[in-house]
Amino acid sequence: STSKNFIGKIHLEGIINDKNELIKQLNDISKNKNIKGLLIIINSPGGTFVSSKEIFDALEKISMKIPTSAYMREMGTSGAYLASLGVNKIFANQGTITGSIGVILQTAQLTSLMEKIGVKPIVIKSGELKATPNPLEKLDEEKLDYLKKIIGQLQNEFVNIVEQKRNLNETTLRKISSGRIFTSKQALELNLIDFIGNEADALDWIKKEGNLNQRIDIIELDEKNSLYNL
């Protein structure tokens, strides 16, 4: 509600799943003429592909209007790394872990256990691949191949975004596609991030890029901090 120009700061923390409030905040930021820069603090292991991609899309839209940067603290992996690709510059701490570029689907097969305790599951469905994977059904090769193809398609979407945003060569793409994690030093060498530094460095970059006053207000926009800001 301030009439003064300011730099906004928001947080992306924990598992990324149903981040509707964060996306709403980002949409509001995109419409606010007084916000002259945006810093997003990331400390997350990732989460769902869709929620991460939605945050990426919202950040990319803002980055076309004002300077934006991300500062990764302890962790910025998987979907959190995907989200960070929406900003202009990515900063990481010396001890940050990032990477883990890929998609995972986890399940369990309980059929042997059910047999041991004398329970026979009855599953009635419209098609052979409906509700796959199902812990109450055996996962044969056909179903396993089907799931691998789905995960592979999502993986390609993820890697394509990384390739476009970070301008990576084939050798680097093969390395990061394995899903391994990287230290900030390794990530910098692979061009997955732009700088190793701290939150102040990420803010300074925004001020310089936007030709902003060094004393410009920094306002935390997260709902949990709204009372403090008031």
Which amino acid would we find at residue 113? L
Q: Is the distance from CB of 182 to CB of 75 less than 8 angstroms?
A: no
SS3 state at 170: helix
Q: How many C-beta atoms lie closer than 10 Å to residue 4's C-beta?
A: 8
Tell me the two tokens of residue 96: 């940050």
Catalytic entry in 51, 52, 69, 78: 78
Total residue length of the chain: 230
Would residue 78 show up in a list of annotated catalytic residues for this protein? yes
Catalytic entry in 24, 125, 130, 185: 130
SS3 state at 141: helix
Tell me the two tokens of residue 83: 């989200």
Crossing angle between the packed helical segments 49-63 and 141-166, to the nearest 10 degrees? 10
Residue 88 is classified by DSSP as: S
Residues 6 or more apart in contact with residue 50 via CB below 8 angstroms: none
Active-site residue list: 78, 130
